[in-house]
């Protein structure tokens, strides 16, 4: 009897609280930044990479022709931040890895080898020295036949003015104007569903930079990209994105650093 009464009482309290909350939302429709407000999420755009086939266009095609237009494989993208580097240098070309940064890269290379083995499809490396050093150390641990490409698109930069504005970092507006288009182009180039010609699951490793990775994650999840600076990534951490054939995206791991001993974890 007591338990029955307790359940009824709990249910009644829940109903009252829900009614109060609904009234609160109605009264605060214009107060979009009220700390107690729960915002509805943005509807998911399933054609975010413009690779979703048009159903009408497929109607009159043969099965073979349809197969040539529909994505059918899963893409795994592992975004690796470079190791710790000489932070005192101001020129990007002089920002090389510290001794600890090289050690971090060695451990990360072993981790990627253990995690993926021969499954790696491609390795892409930013052309900044700290990323190239990290990538080359990682490559020593991988299959020598893995394809490798270098890209200036994934060099570090200021992708978009962050919200909230940070106190410790204030780039000039022209820096966002200069870097933003390039990093957005990098996202479109590297993050998308598989091309219809791809028939097997792929595993691409992209060695680049913290700002680039954080922006990629926000864009891939269709979250506000201005929130990229709210994410934190350790040096030589691994972020794992999965893009499915239907365009759905899963963040399977963000800034994973468990392969690094605690005394090797840095964020510079």
Residue 255 lies in a domain: yes
Residue 52 lies in a domain: no
- Count of domains forming the chain: 2
Tally of CB atoms within 10 A around 180? 17
Residue 98 lies in a domain: yes
- Ramachandran bin of 117, using left for φ above 0, alpha for ψ from -120 to 50, beta for the remaining angles: left
- Tell whether 24 and 136 lie within a shared domain: no
Residue 68 lies in a domain: no
- Tell whether 91 and 195 lie within a shared domain: yes
- Tell whether 25 and 91 lie within a shared domain: no
For 63, the 3-state DSSP assignment is: helix
- Tell whether 201 and 157 lie within a shared domain: yes
Report CA dihedral (136, 138, 141, 144) to the nearest 10 degrees. -50
Domain residues for 19? Answer: 2-40
- Tell whether 19 and 92 lie within a shared domain: no
Question: What DSSP string runs through 121-153?
Answer: -EEEEESSHHHHHHHHHHHTTS-TTS-EEEEST
Q: How far apart are CA 31 and CA 39, in angstroms?
A: 11
- Tell whether 35 and 81 lie within a shared domain: no
Cβ pair 217, 251 in contact under 8 A = yes
Residue 54 lies in a domain: no
Task: Quote the pTM value.
Answer: 0.84
Residue 196 lies in a domain: yes
- Tell whether 146 and 246 lie within a shared domain: yes
**Residue whose structure tokens are 């680039």:** 212
Q: Chain centroid to CA 68: how far?
A: 28
CATH number, domain at 176? 3.40.50.1240
**Angle 6-8-12 from CA coordinates, rounded to 5°:** 115
Q: Chain centroid to CA 257: how far?
A: 15
* Bridge partner list, 77: 204, 241
From first to last of the 268 residues of the chain, give the pLDDT tens digit: 544 444 445 556 555 655 655 565 555 554 444 455 555 566 899 999 999 988 877 888 887 777 888 999 999 999 999 999 998 877 888 889 999 999 999 999 999 999 999 999 999 999 999 999 999 999 999 988 999 999 999 999 999 999 999 888 888 889 999 999 999 999 999 999 999 999 999 999 999 999 999 999 999 999 999 999 999 999 999 999 999 999 999 999 999 999 999 999 999 8
């Amino acid at each position: 009897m007591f338990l029955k009464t307790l359940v009824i009482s709990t249910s009644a309290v829940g109903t009252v609280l829900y009614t109060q909350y609904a009234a609160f939302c109605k009264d605060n429709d214009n107060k979009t930044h009220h700390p107690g407000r729960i915002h509805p999420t943005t509807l998911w755009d399933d054609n975010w990479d413009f690779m979703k086939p048009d159903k009408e266009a497929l109607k009159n095609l043969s099965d073979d022709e349809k197969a040539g237009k529909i994505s059918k494989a899963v893409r795994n993208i592992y975004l690796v931040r470079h190791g710790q580097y000489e932070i005192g240098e101001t020129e990007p070309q002089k920002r090389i890895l510290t001794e600890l940064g090289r050690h971090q890269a060695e451990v990360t290379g072993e981790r990627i080898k253990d995690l993926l083995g021969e499954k790696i499809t491609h390795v892409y490396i930013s052309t900044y020295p700290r990323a190239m050093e990290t990538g080359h150390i990682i490559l020593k641990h991988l299959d020598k036949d893995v394809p490798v490409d270098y890209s200036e698109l994934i060099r570090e930069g200021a992708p978009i003015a962050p919200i909230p504005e940070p106190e410790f970092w204030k780039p000039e507006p022209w820096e966002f104007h200069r870097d933003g288009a390039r990093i957005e182009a990098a996202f479109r180039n590297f993050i998308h569903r598989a091309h219809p010609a791809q028939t097997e699951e792929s595993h691409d490793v992209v060695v680049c930079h913290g700002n680039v990775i954080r922006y990629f994650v926000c864009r891939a999840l269709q979250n506000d990209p201005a929130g990229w600076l709210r994410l934190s990534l350790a040096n030589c951490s691994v972020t794992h994105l999965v893009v499915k054939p239907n365009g759905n995206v899963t963040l399977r791991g963000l800034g994973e650093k468990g392969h690094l001993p605690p005394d090797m974890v840095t964020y510079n």
